[in-house]
Structure 1
Amino acid sequence: MKKLSPKYGRYSLLLHFAIWFLILSQCLRICFFVWQYNEVSLNVIDFLRTLITGLFFDLGTVVFITIFGILYYSIIPNKWIGSVLDKILIYFFTSLTVFVLVFTFFAELTFWDEFKTRFNFIAVDYLIYTHEVVANIKQSYPLPVLIGGVLLLTLAFLFLFYKNKAFTTTFNAKASLKTRLSVLLPTVFTALFFAFFITNNQAEWSSNRYNSEISKSGIYSFFAAFRNNQMKYVDFYTSIDNNKAFGIIKKKLAAPNSVYSKKNYSIHRKITDSLPSLKNKNVVFILVESLSGSFLKEFGNKENITPFLDSLAQKSVFFENLYATGTRTVRGMEAVTLCIPPTPGQSIVKRPNNQNLYTVCSVFKSRKYDCDFFYGGDGYFDNMNAYFGGNGFNIYDRGRGSVLSDEIKTVRNNINDDEVTFENAWGVCDEDIFNKMLKVADVQYKNKKPFFNFVMTTSNHRPYTYPSGKIDIPSGTSREGAVKYTDFALKALFKKAKTKPWFKNTVFVIIADHCASSAGKDEIDVANYHIPAFIVNLPQEQNQKITRQCSQIDLWPTLFSLFQWNYESDFFGKNVLAPKFEERALMGTYRKLVLMKKEKVMILSDQKKQAFYSWNKQDNSLTKIPMNHSFLEETISWYQTADYLFTNKLLK
């Protein structure tokens, strides 16, 4: 390293630290290039721009990391430099910071392995729910080896600083006021510049999503997500006049059997069926963790990991061309309870003021159903208990407490230890949660209560552990094993349910919350939103394979139509079986909002940007095409109206 000017010797350790961080960050960036070499753009200009953009954001990151250290170095009097207190503070905080950053670099690798992205709002959520995340890490990785490795690397880097005399120079060099100000003021100026003028999405310069993600700094991205978890649509996205937006959506949702209320900014309508409503059927609704369409033999998988679900596809109402609205469980929950497009920022499940909304539970409650939510973990995670409890469901979970909050008037029931045969970081195995639901359904039947039981599974989630001896893939070895176990557990559920007196009058609905992976080189990886959905145990003549392109939000309106129910609706979903159903899918990330019609894909981005693509299903690629303004206005309308209704509490 080039020798530091003697007058800046006091800052020698900080300089060594900054250079170390920048080098390690670029090494991590190159590691991601190697990891995604088949999909990332390795054009020389793109490669260099990725590294240079990354270096720019790394500089901002290292400034934020070191600013308090620089402040300390700049205000401590010269007579205290090298004192015992000075050495203790510098050794301790330097060692701690290096340890945390080395651990963070490891965490970025595991996060990339799971999500193919730099830290984002998912990482922010994981920081909140430390119990589940720490348990997941312990069960997924050899923690002693990981911590030991981080500790050894930390000591190695500190030794490198020591060998280069960074500590010695820092403890022996004095600094004049001029020197101190010449370091402190530019640092503060740079920090303010990044804080007020640089946004994380400015790193997204490339049409190749991987290049854009690799251009980011993970730590910078984390704090950017922490600051921007909720986004008002009109502030960040292209908008149109509300009258026009609601007019477009009302036209899209119009049907011969529905009548709108007279309010302008509303989609509330009464839906009637020409045939008499069928007798109330019980409904068991199963939201399966990370069940990608690509796992099914029905969609070309050759590994035979879903034999039971593939058999159901032949004897159910099976949705062949249905797409998830998002990439997280809470998005799936939002879609199947509110039947609403994904609003930007956090899912409604995690937002404040999300109680007493008009959900599918409201429809069931109007028909005197008993509504219950079953989750094998602690429903505190992802705000599930507050959301479901605040919207009419009784709760069955593995939480240790019995109280939700004073505002939520519902019943919370624990899954007891004697009801659990296997449990991992995320909760009890799928067999156990299904058995709990069966036990509750027996009581509901005995009490002559029609029931709507909503079950959220957990087994198809890292660390992919499940009871041994159930399937031919050892527990904890692969995602494929977890998928096959979930399929096994579903088969066991149906085998037991068929012995129940309530089975003949019960419809089972199975759908994924989202795909196992959602990342690709394009802005939106369309294929990784494709999920299966089944409606099982209707009269045999109703079974069919639905080939129409549709969304998670269309599932319930379709089932209510099959039930021939009259009901009130604030739903954006429609009956897929209606003769004039217009095929389309709505999906997104927490920042990208998408309308897809057949192969045409419109993507709205924050900073009021939009792009129009043609999707090639064969290779899952997007090709830019000329803008279609009527398509754009329709896309805007779906999301602008959904955001308006929730923000203005019109979904209550």
Structure 2
Amino acid sequence: MFNFYSLLKLLAKRIALIFICYQFCRIFFLWYNWKNFTNVDFKAFAGGMLFDLSAIGFINIIFIILHLFPGGFKYKPKYQKGLKIAFYGVNLFFLASNFVDFEYYKFTGRRSSFGLITARGMEHEILGLLPSFLREFWYLPIGFIAFSMILWGAMSNALIVFPTEKLTKKEKTKQIGILVLALVCGLIMLRGGFGKKPLRIVDAINYATLGNSAIVLNTPFTIIRTMGKHEGIVDPKFYPKEALDKIFNPEIRTNPAIPPIKKNVVILILESFGYENIHLGYTPFLDSLITRSLYFKNGFANGKVSIDAVPSTLSSVPSLMNNPLISSGYSLNEVYGLPKIFKKQGYSTSFFHGAFNGSQNFDQYCKVAGFEQYYGKSEYPYHNPEAFDGRWGVFDEEFLQFFCDKLTSFKKPFFSTLFTISSHTPFIMPEKYKGKFPKGTTKIHETIGYTDASLRKFFAKAKKQDWYNNTLFVLTADHTSPFGEGKYQNNVGKFRIPILFFDPSNPDLKGVSEKNFQQIDILPSILDYLKIKDNVVSFGKPYSSDKNFVVTYIDNIYNYINDDYYLAFDGNKSVGLYNFKKDPFLKNNLLDSEKAVAANMEAFIKAYIQSFNERLINNQLTIKSK
């Protein structure tokens, strides 16, 4: 039994070593993203250990068997060498995902899921941008290599004494008993303890203050728990159908008294133009355009990544799951958004994105959404090397000028959307403009200034076209940038963006609105403004509505804003209530003192979630004609 006990000790040492590695990863993750978290306490680390043990148990359950299965075969040197390499390789693979999230978390605001790292359309980004990432964040791969070498050096070898013992029936029974006991311990680790249900991602909120769940979690756990899951969407059945529709019904039926106004419509989605980047001297043109527009001061994105912004803005479908809609199993669900609405009204429709075709699966979604034409890097007709950033696509200045030319050539009226790219990582500046714009305090500010100047040139050229005065322009950021600080780090500030409506021919469409306005409100607001009669499924509301809500989702928390209050809901219960206008840093939790407000808000968000999930699961994002 000496050799068997040696392997038992070896297995225990190896699992303990991996556990220590997870603690190192958590400490480094927190240090690397320190500005994104507040009020971190020991409870987050203590809870995190439970999630670490769960991930380790899942990954290593097979190695418990391979280390302890009765029989003399496992004492052979070649077997032990292969077992060591396999244990090292498998665990290192999962540990690597933690290193990826050291930086990626800044952009997504949550630990990566299986769907996020395997998102369709994203493989093009990875191949195209990997060289830039390696250059910019060179210290991460070097740190990981050093980490890998230390881990290999710290792993013990099997201490086998030859000749191997000949097992008696009693010893064999004892070994089987120890194996079974070890497997039971592994399964307890995997489940996350003795609770009625296995540990879930959402349980992280029980160990952390609001916004700090990512510290409790580890990336291997979130990948494993979302692997093979159908986007994690379930029908919660909070209410029966009749009661559900009374609280929230996304079906909007417009019936204006006058014929539709046949204006052209141009939507400009600005990469990373979060609220934290405007009014600071980096966006002089956008700041000036705001003074001539209907500007929503309390504007919000409905997602944290670019791929979320398109369905939110064009189809009024928010991002309320861990995987982006465009790359999810629901990406081919029928939607009835602005492209189909305007096509029905006789408009020509088009979508422009200066990145290489296939980027973020936008071209595929545009087909589903009903756009007639898609223009990416491949459709850019000018062979000017200076217009290409060498990594991502066509610089904003050149692509916006091309956009303006194409708009002039289109049949009128037209509906067109353009998504800018230059203020996206790796933040490449054209050679001719290097040093021309303020560097600012973060690496995005220079490219924000460049894109703002490109917008100025676009509007200067558009103003000379005959279609300009008969056009409604809508500008929105796709999401906030990864460099927000202070009040832009919490679950309200992480979504604050500028949204504005500009109509050169209507001086009355002007002013600063204090309403809570979100990307999914753009579709119904356009229908309202242009007096278009139609029946649509919209999870937002028109700007003329008395309703004043915003709904977002991040890190397994549903964020519901109504009037001055913000409610954090974890899918089962409310975990925080704040007056976000008086308390922008969300320090004073009112859940116990404002119970009536919390109860009313919780009733709404439950209905909203149920309506969204049911319609997504059942492919009911359109109103079928009877």
Both structures adopt the same fold (TM-score exceeding 0.5): yes
What TM-score, normalized to structure 2?
0.84
Give the Cα separation in 2 of the matches to 1:294 and 1:475.
12
Q: Are 1:559 and 2:536 counterparts?
A: no
Query: What is the one-letter code of the residue matched to 2:159?
Result: T
Do the aligned residues in 1 keep the contact of 2:488 with 2:496 (CA within 8 Å)? no
1:277 maps to which residue?
260
**Partner residue, 2:454:** 489
* 2:147 corresponds to: 153
Query: What do you get for the CA RMSD once the two structures are aligned?
Result: 3.6
Q: Indicate whether 1:41 and 2:36 are aligned.
A: no
Shift of 1:599: 1.6
Equivalent in 314, 317, 322 of residue 337 of structure 1 = 314
How far residue 364 of structure 1 moved from its aligned partner, in angstroms, is: 0.5
Whole-Å separation in 2 of the counterparts to 1:376 and 1:648 = 34
1:220 Cα deviation from its structure 2 partner: 0.8
Q: Return the match for 1:371 from 323, 328, 349.
A: 349
Q: C-alpha displacement at 1:222, in angstroms? A: 2.1
Q: Residue 589 and residue 82 in structure 1: after superposition, are their counterparts in 2 closer, same or farther (change >3 A)?
A: same
Separation in 2 of the partners of 1:231 and 1:215?
20
* Aligned counterpart, 1:306: 283
**1:167-199 deviation line (CA, Å, top 9, x unaligned):** 252697958645653554344334544356222
Q: Which amino acid aligns with 2:615?
A: L
* Structure 2 counterpart SS, 1:548: strand
Mapped partners of 2:163, 2:582: distance in 1: 64
2:18 corresponds to: 21
Determine the C-alpha separation between the residues in 2 that align with 1:480 and 1:171: 64
- For residue 75 of structure 2, what is the aligned residue in structure 1? 81
Q: Which residue matches 2:251?
A: 267
Task: Tell me if the contact between 1:289 and 1:512 (Cα under 8 Å) persists in the aligned partners.
Answer: yes
1:593 aligns to 2:558 (yes or no): yes
- Corresponding residue for residue 458 of structure 1: 421
Task: Assess if the C-alpha contact under 8 Å between 1:419 and 1:432 holds in 2.
Answer: no
1:104 to 80, 97, 117: 97
Which residue is 1:402 aligned to? none
Question: What letter matches 1:185 in structure 2?
Answer: V
1:431 is aligned to 397
Q: 1:539 to 1:389 in 2, by over 3 A?
A: same
What secondary structure does 1:428 align onto?
coil
Amino acid at match of 2:368: G
> Quick check: 1:305–1:484 contact (8 Å CA) kept in 2?
yes
Change (3 A) 1:564 1:589: same
C-alpha deviation, 1:224, in angstroms: 1.8
Q: 1:346 and 1:216, CA in 2 relative to 1: closer, same or farther beyond 3 A?
A: closer
Q: What is the rounded CA distance, in whole Å, between the counterparts of 1:33 and 1:150 in structure 2? A: 16
Q: Contact 2:213 / 2:555 at 8 angstroms: preserved in 1?
A: no
Which secondary structure state, in structure 2, belongs to the residue aligned with residue 624 of structure 1?
Answer: coil
Residues 465 and 173 from structure 1, CA distance in 2 versus in 1: closer, same or farther, beyond 3 angstroms? farther
**Over residues 128-166 of structure 1, what are the superposed CA-to-partner deviations in whole Å (9 max), with x where a residue is unaligned?**
7334135434213337765454334323332333xxxx2
Q: Which residue of 2 aligns with 1:354?
A: 332
1:228 deviates by 4.5
Cα deviations by residue, 1:305-352 (Å, 9 ceiling, x for unpaired): 111100111112222222222222233222212224544454443343
Aligned-pair CA distance for 1:244: 1.6
CA–CA distance in structure 1, aligned partners of residues 187 and 120 of structure 2: 26
Does the C-alpha gap of structure 1 residues 5 and 310 become closer, same or farther in structure 2, counting only changes over 3 Å? farther
Distance, in Å, in 1 between the alignment partners of 2:162 and 2:453 is: 68
Residue 535 (structure 2) pairs with residue 541 (structure 1):
no
Partner of 2:277: 295
Q: Distance in 1 between matches of 2:558 and 2:375?
A: 32
* Alpha-carbon distance in structure 2 between the residues aligned to 1:102 and 1:592: 25
The verdict on how the C-alpha distance between 1:19 and 1:192 changes in structure 2, with shifts beyond 3 A counting, is: closer
How far is 1:363 from its partner?
1.8
2:122 is aligned to 129
Partners of 2:199 and 2:87 lie apart in 1 by: 27
- Whole-angstrom CA distance in 2 between matches of 1:170 and 1:129: 48
Instruction: Determine if the alignment matches structure 1 residue 630 to structure 2 residue 600.
Output: yes
For 1:620, which of 585, 603, 624 is the aligned residue? 585
Change (3 A) 1:516 1:429: same
- Corresponding residue to 2:48 among 31, 39, 54: 54
Amino acid at match of 1:573: G
Q: Give 1:219 shift.
A: 0.9
SS at match of 2:102: helix
Contact 2:98 2:220 survives alignment (8 Å)? no
In 2, are the aligned partners of 1:574 and 1:581 still within 8 Å (CA)? no
Structure 2 counterpart of 1:443: 409
Write the letter of the residue equivalent to 1:321. N
Number of residue-to-residue matches in the alignment: 598
Q: Is the CA contact 2:278–2:287 (under 8 Å) kept in the aligned structure 1?
A: yes
Contact 2:51–2:199, Cα closer than 8 Å, also in 1 = no
1:571 matched to 2:538? The reply is yes
From the superposition, tell whether residues 145 and 208 of structure 1 become closer, same or farther in structure 2 (CA, over 3 Å): closer
Residues 1:530 and 2:524 are matched in the alignment: no
CA distance in structure 1 between the partners assigned to 2:298 and 2:406 by the alignment? 33
Instruction: Kindly indicate whether the alpha-carbon contact (under 8 Å) linking 1:322 and 1:550 is maintained by their aligned counterparts in 2.
Output: yes
Q: Who is 1:387 aligned against?
A: 365
Q: Secondary structure at the match of 1:541?
A: coil
- Does 1:649 pair with 2:619? yes
Residue 405 of structure 1 is matched in structure 2 by none
- Show CA shifts across 1:623-650 (max 9, x none): 2233333333233333323333343333
Amino acid at match of 1:557: P
1:52-73 CA distances to partner (integer Å, 9 max, x unpaired)? 3222222222222323333333
Matched, 1:31 2:28: yes
Post-superposition Cα deviations, 1:201-220, rounded to whole Å, max 9, x if no partner, equal: 22321451355322222211
Partners of 2:352 and 2:375 within 8 A in 1: yes
2:220 partner amino acid: I
Measure the CA separation in 2 of the matches of 1:522 and 1:496. Answer: 35
Aligned partner of 1:108: which letter? D
SS of residue in 2 equivalent to 1:643: helix
Of 467-476 and 637-646, deviating more is: 467-476
Distance 1:172 1:516 in 2: 61
Q: Measured at CA, do residues 217 and 321 of structure 1 come closer, stay the same or move farther in structure 2, by a change above 3 Å? A: closer
Distance 1:226 1:145 in 2: 29
Deviation at 1:611, TM superposition (A): 4.8
Q: Structure 1 residues 204, 637: CA separation in 2 closer, same or farther (over 3 Å shift)?
A: closer
1:330-382, Cα deviation, whole Å (9 max, x unpaired): 33222212224544454443343634421112221111111112222345444
Change in 2 beyond 3 A, CA 1:540/1:419: farther
The offset of 1:547, in angstroms, is 2.5
